[in-house]
Amino acid sequence: MAVIIENSVWEPNPYLFIFIFLSCFLSIFLLPYASKNSSTRAPAPFEHGFSSAFSTFQRKFLLLYSLASVMEGLWSVYGEFEFTYRGVSREQIVLSLCVGYAASLFVGTFLGILSDLIGQKKICMTFCIIHLVTAIWKRISVHPSLFIASVGLSLATSIFSFSFETWMVHHHEKQGQRQDMLSDTFWLMTIFESVSLVGNQMLVNSLIGDDVKRNMFSSSTAAVFLALICLTFIIKGWTEVSQRIELEDYRTSFSAYILSDKRIWLLAWAQASVHFSVAFFWILWAPTLVADGREVHLGLIYPCLLGSRILGSSLFPWLMSGTSSLRTEDCLLYCFAISGLVMSIVAFDYQELGVLVMLFSIFHACVGLILPSLAKLRTMYVPNKLRGGMISLSLAPANAAILFFLLQGGYYRRIENSVILAFAAIGLFTSAGSVYALKRWGKHPYQTWQKQ
């Protein structure tokens, strides 16, 4: 008599999706009503007047930023499966990631400085061209070089990390708009990016459908069209903010305001720790969930994580407006401490699937709140003409650490995944200390914000 063993695949409770959606919806759309009762009223999303030049720019910018976010995420949905389909081994995949992060470290670090010197329009056009060339090459080549594609996409990711934000801040400064309006755009950027990544997963799944082998490279075709749309948008609809600066003057300013200021070093460390922890989270989240042979529907967990990040970002205007007495540094301090605690639990304590998903969601909610908060602090402490260089330089320690742990843990397998997560937790805890020190040292003499 045969014994039938039922094999079930774990899925999150459907009510979790409803809870996240309703929470995000209420958090965003109840904000105007809460602000009306506040003595220091924060503007609601897009509440800058329909005839306002900045309101028009904000909508166009968020549309372009969303398209760029979709382009960035297209390669990750079926990335590992595509490599396997092409016959690429696990060691080659890890080595390609190492090559990509090496390019981000040794080349991407200086792209922000280059963007400050030549302008954001040219560097964002380069971002689109890289995606366009990579997509065409992968579409027409039977066996494209894995390492060249990894280098190109890594450099595009480096550009994406600073270019659009820097362009938006320059345009905001040119129009002389209020700083609270800039803060409003920061958290909307995080929300639109997260929504775009969820939509990106749906787009790729619909393009590939049931015939995976036949439609495997349809995402490259979609990337070609998106890159052309973004490139056209930038060329025809971009207003470059002229900022002529000589190399020697830039070097002097960068040394005085960035390299010689301990506050910037603290802010850069906080940015680096977030970059490191988020990068390794997306590398290790699936292996952590399927450990010990557990079967999990990862496609349903992914939207929960990004939905949690949307919820965290939607809380930013509530905490930073007149409805709350929290300062930006206080908010960051709590978020870094909580996210570090979550990473510590995941690293050192074996958990059930439901608990792991809950911890992952808490981590992403904290990240959703950290990203706009760091962007706001950059505006408070970093001169706008040096913003791109500061952001790209702050990611260098994170890229170096990611490269080291990929080689030691992924390629040579000398370090366990739990050790990597523990280092991420340590980085987040030290970032909490950095933010605390930043708070104790007070305001920057070049701060342009009137209210923290």
**More confident site: 71 or 204:** 71
What's the token pair of residue 50?
């329909």
In this predicted structure, the answer to whether residue 188 has a pLDDT above a threshold of 60 is yes
- Of 98, 313, 81, the C-alpha closest to 186 is 313
- Burial tier of 197 (Cβ tally within 10 Å: 0-12, 13-18, 19+): buried
Distance separating alpha carbons of residues 178 and 43, to the nearest angstrom: 10
Copy the structure tokens of residue 102: 């090496």
Is 381 a residue whose pLDDT tops 70?
yes
Question: What is the C-alpha to C-alpha distance for residues 22 and 28, in angstroms, rounded to an integer?
Answer: 10
DSSP state of 44: P
Task: Please state, in angstroms and rounded to a whole number, the distance separating the CA atoms of residues 26 and 49.
Answer: 22
pLDDT digits (tens, 9 = 90+) for 233-252: 998 877 776 666 788 888 99
Find the range with the poorest average confidence among 25-39, 231-245, 310-324. 25-39
Token pair listed for 30: 């109840």
Distance of CA 154 to CAs 108, 147, 419, Å? 8, 10, 25
- Alpha carbon distance 346, 356 (integer Å): 7
Say if residues 448 and 380 touch (Cβ distance below 8 Å). Answer: yes
Whether the per-residue pLDDT at 228 is higher than 60: the answer is yes
Candidates 242, 184, 270; CA nearest to 385 is 242
DSSP-derived letter for residue 10 is B
Tell me the DSSP string of 22-49: HHHHHHHHTHHHHHHT-SSPPPPTT-S-
Rounded distance between C-alpha atoms, residue 42 and residue 31, angstroms: 9
Question: Which amino acid appears at position 54 of this protein?
Answer: F
- Rounded CA separation 132/117 (Å): 24
Q: What proportion of the chain, given as a percentage, has pLDDT over 90?
A: 46
Share of the chain above pLDDT 70, in %: 84
Listed residue (399, 300, 312, 403) closest to 362, CA to CA? 312
Q: Specify the range with the lowest mean pLDDT, choosing from 69-73, 105-109, 201-205, 286-290.
A: 201-205
| CA dihedral of residues 50, 51, 52, 53 (deg, nearest 10) | 120
Would you state the pLDDT for residue 1?
A: 40
Question: Which pair of tokens denotes residue 294?
Answer: 């557990």
Query: Rounded to an integer, what distance in angstroms lies between the CA atom of residue 283 and that of residue 362?
Result: 18
289 versus 56: which is more confidently predicted?
Answer: 289
Name the least confident of 116-120, 185-189, 202-206. Answer: 202-206
Band of pLDDT at residue 319, cut at 50, 70 and 90: confident
State mean pLDDT over 319-328: 72
pLDDT over 90 at 143, yes or no: no
**361-377: burial string, b at 16+ Cβ within 10 Å, e else:** bbbbbbbbbbbbbbbbb
Q: Using 50, 70 and 90 to split pLDDT, how confident is the model at 144?
A: low
pLDDT surpasses 80 at 449:
no
**What are 125-135's pLDDT values in tens digits?**
999 999 999 88
CA distance 149 to 82: 13
Return the residue matching tokens 């260089």.
Answer: 389
332 has a pLDDT exceeding 90: yes
- The phi-psi region of residue 442 (left if phi > 0; otherwise alpha if psi is between -120 and 50; otherwise beta) is left
Q: How far apart are CA 373 and CA 370, in angstroms?
A: 5
Q: Which helix (H) or strand (E) holds 39?
A: none
Return the pLDDT at 247.
Answer: 82
The whole-chain average pLDDT of the chain stands at: 84
Of 132-146, 294-308, 408-422, the range with the lowest mean pLDDT is 132-146
Q: Which domains does the chain have, with CATH numbers?
A: 54-441 (1.20.1250.20)
